[in-house]
Amino acid sequence: MGQYTDSNGLSHGFQRTPSGTVTTIDYPEALDSSALDINKHGDIVGGYGDQFTSTGFLLHDGMFSSIADPNAAPMQTVAIGINASGLVSGSYTDTAGTDHGFLLRGTDYMTVDFPMAGFTDGDRINDSGQLVGGYFSGGPSHGFVYDSTRNQFLSFDAPDVASSLARGINNWGQVTGVYRSFIDTSQHGFIASPYAAQP
């Protein structure tokens, strides 16, 4: 699952099966497409648009449907994750230019904003309904986990870093992401178990 660029500079999503077969995934009539996540049933989410705009999509049983949060500015939604129950996660930008996370179950959208944060970006979600992402309020960014079944947020950072962003979470609650250190401006990856550190 991923994205490639052709000789004309256009982006396409793709799916690679265990047998090695590669299938291109393009939203119909879209200029650029990207495939970002797949669940165990083969449902795929991603986005289409260009370098300035994005609309999310769901590919289910060979049929595409658009994902556009009703609170978003036009073409400013990206679908990033989907779990086994079909719960879709991602981010959108509103007309004021503020980023928000979202969850989509069926046709019901739910905005996910870390409390008191200026910006919230939602990323992937696991089968337990735990969404990861990042938030900030005019300072360093921080990672978070949102437990949608309990409506609870957990903020965390990689140790001794300037900023963190959470990008993925598995069904055991292990989180992957990126951070920047105080020592240099380089970006590094991390894996963490933030719930294991809670009392």
106-117: average pLDDT? 96
Q: What percent of the chain has pLDDT over 70?
A: 98
Residue 61 CA to residue 56 CA, distance in Å, equals: 17
Beta bridge partners of 190: 177
Q: Report pLDDT digits (tens) over 58-95.
A: 999 999 999 999 999 999 999 999 999 999 999 999 99
Q: Report pLDDT digits (tens) over 140-174.
A: 899 999 999 999 999 988 777 788 899 999 999 99
CA 107 to chain centre: 18
Helix (H) or strand (E) holding 123: strand 119-125
Phi, psi of 131 (to 5 degrees): -100, 135
In sequence order, which residues have a C-beta less than 8 Å from that of residue 110 and are 6 or more positions away? 102, 103, 104, 148
* Domain chopping of the chain, boundaries: 1-112, 121-199
* C-alpha distances in Å from residue 178, one per residue of 129, 130, 159, 175: 21, 18, 12, 10
Q: Which residue has the tokens 């719960």?
A: 87
Residue 94 CA to residue 27 CA, distance in Å, equals: 23
pLDDT at 199: 46
